[in-house]
Structure 1
Amino acid sequence: MRVGISKENYIERMKEAANWAMDICMFLIAADRKDPRTNILLQAVNRVVNKSNPAMNKIIEEIKIIGAEADKEENIIKKNMCNEIAETLNSYKQMAYSSLLFGDGDEEAISLERTVNVLQIQNLVFPDAETAPENYTFQEIVGYACLLAITGYIMLFIMSDRKELSIFEMDEATVLRATAAGKNISNKIIRMARALQSPGIFISQSIDDIGDSKVLNNIGYKFAFRTSDDEEIEKTLRAYGIEPTEENKEILSSLENGMCLFQDLEGRTGVVAIDAVFEEYINAFKTGAEDKEENEEVS
């Protein structure tokens, strides 16, 4: 048990962690709830949860044990399924960045008690929204599985202490909504975050990445920066409840750097300028290749 966590909270966190471990493993082996391999995974996860320092690597080991038990019982079908699951998960363990998913339980875990946690996914490869899950590359499968793990952390984070204000930010929100499962997760986070006093900041290139009208209605403050895409401008204005007239479209397309179309919780809308306060902030968050050297100097 982690220091500083009550027994009750630890048990609840382990239950949540078990659910996310199941989702990740099912995604990696391409199984659904009707797949008989799911029962084997569930059995292995439940065993590992009750061990000291539960971890993803221990799930693989437990699957091998279940396979050995099936062999003794002469249950060849179950034994073969266990071998298949273990081999598949072991194969993903050998890929780049798989250490973000698989551990032995001895690694330093991300703490929910820290004031700030930053999870970077810069070099992970994610599938496009148009790509069907069955067409994902191996790198995309690992990338999306890592995203599921990160999302699980966000869920634990916003539910950890309802008495304290907890804020999370998700850049490139389109990645999470690349699949139907991801959309459901994103929608759940948005709905729960507001109710649990854990406001979220979603950053994306398109209004479509945030969700449908039901999801947008749960977003209290909207910031839309300049874009030249006429279709995107119309979608944004409609999301704001503004008629997409040529005059209104011109406002959004002609915004200067650092300015945006803002809408508050009451529906009041207007153009505002974002004051970064310090020049160092502006330099630190520049993302162009020509700014790399300058960013390093600032950091």
Structure 2
Amino acid sequence: MYNALQSYTSYPFAHLVFGEGGDRKTLNFDHRINILQIQGLKVPNQKKKPQDYSEIEALSKALLTPITAYTDQFSRMDNSLFKIIGWDEAWAPLSSDIGEATMDSGIREGRSRNTSFALASQNPTDIKGELMNNIGNKFIFNLDDPVQIDRALEILKLEKNEKNRENMTLLGNGECFFRDIYGRVGRLQFDPLFQELMNVFSTTPPSEEDTEAIHQAIQAHTEVMV
């Protein structure tokens, strides 16, 4: 059994459930922020038969059970505190029946749990109709694919005409179309309060100049430490 479980520890996300004991950092409900990184997760499609799962798909789906259980428990704790649960790359948990059920119940019962759920995904088609209908505020950023654009217009409840389709492709960085809980739709620009936040969350690869500056800063810091 030990050898069988040990063989799974090499996967990038395995450290979430496998450990060697001792004084290690763990998730703590008392912390103001908890971040679960599940890079490398490969959740099988709901229509795929379990006997056809690859090893990584079977482990990925199994891992969703403790992850979704954690978020469910977190959302139900201390209703006097307002809590936020954010799912980036939401298509991954939504592609499994376990993840979809957890998100659906969480969003439906969010008010009674004093918890807000935020889902972020690459494509509007990742979030199905019934689940999307229960989401209050909707943000749609720049899109180029015609299928995704039409789905976005359905979500925003805007007419599918060429002008609206074109507007979807003209959104700049930080711009989106926003539909609020009252059905109002408008164009929205996000302005970060601090440049540091932009730097931390930017997924744009750094330029050669920026890379060189980073290396110099690291080298200077290392020399000071020595």
Question: Which bracket does the TM-score occupy, shorter chain normalised?
Answer: 0.7 to 0.9
More helix by share: 1
SS in structure 2 of the partner of residue 289 of structure 1: coil
Q: Once the 2 structures are TM-superposed, how far is the Cα of residue 115 of structure 1 from its aligned partner?
A: 1.0
Matched, 1:284 2:200: yes
- The whole-number CA distance in structure 2 between the counterparts of 1:295 and 1:126 is 35
Sequence identity, in percent? 30
TM-superposition CA deviations, 1:88-133 (whole Å, max 9, x none)? x8624421244422457766541111111111122x3313547724
- The whole-number CA distance in structure 2 between the counterparts of 1:244 and 1:198 is 34
Residue 55 of structure 2 is matched in structure 1 by: 138
TM-superposition CA deviations, 1:155-190 (whole Å, max 9, x none)? 011101111100111100000011233322221222
Residue 179 of structure 2 is matched in structure 1 by: 263
Q: Once the 2 structures are TM-superposed, how far is the Cα of residue 293 of structure 1 from its aligned partner?
A: 3.9
- The whole-number CA distance in structure 2 between the counterparts of 1:198 and 1:221 is 14
Matched, 1:217 2:133: yes
Q: Once the 2 structures are TM-superposed, how far is the Cα of residue 238 of structure 1 from its aligned partner?
A: 0.7
The one-letter code of the counterpart of 1:91 is A
Structure 2 contact 65–98 (Cα < 8 Å) conserved: no
Q: Once the 2 structures are TM-superposed, how far is the Cα of residue 272 of structure 1 from its aligned partner?
A: 0.7
SS in structure 2 of the partner of residue 163 of structure 1: coil
Residue 91 of structure 1 is matched in structure 2 by: 4
Gaps of 5+ in 1: 1-86
- The whole-number CA distance in structure 2 between the counterparts of 1:111 and 1:237 is 40
TM-superposition CA deviations, 1:214-243 (whole Å, max 9, x none)? 322221111100010111010111112112
Q: 2:191 is matched with which residue: 275, 285, 290?
A: 275
Structure 1 contact 283–295 (Cα < 8 Å) conserved: no
Aligned residues: CA RMSD: 2.8
Gaps of 5+ in 2: 219-226
Structure-to-structure mapping, 1:174-253, within 5 angstroms: 174-212=91-129, 214-253=130-169
Matched, 1:167 2:80: no
- The whole-number CA distance in structure 1 between the counterparts of 2:192 and 2:213 is 16
Q: Which moved more, 1:228-237 or 1:91-100?
A: 91-100
- The whole-number CA distance in structure 1 between the counterparts of 2:61 and 2:28 is 22
SS in structure 1 of the partner of residue 80 of structure 2: coil
Bigger Cα Rg: 1
Residue 117 of structure 1 is matched in structure 2 by: 34
- The whole-number CA distance in structure 1 between the counterparts of 2:202 and 2:67 is 25
- The whole-number CA distance in structure 2 between the counterparts of 1:288 and 1:129 is 29
With normalisation by structure 2, the TM-score equals: 0.81
The one-letter code of the counterpart of 1:117 is N
- The whole-number CA distance in structure 1 between the counterparts of 2:213 and 2:156 is 35
With normalisation by structure 1, the TM-score equals: 0.62
Structure 2 contact 43–93 (Cα < 8 Å) conserved: no
The one-letter code of the counterpart of 1:276 is P
Number of aligned residue pairs: 210
The one-letter code of the counterpart of 1:161 is D
SS in structure 1 of the partner of residue 188 of structure 2: strand
TM-superposition CA deviations, 1:250-281 (whole Å, max 9, x none)? 11111111100001110100101001122222
- The whole-number CA distance in structure 1 between the counterparts of 2:79 and 2:187 is 34
- The whole-number CA distance in structure 2 between the counterparts of 1:181 and 1:296 is 42
The one-letter code of the counterpart of 1:249 is R
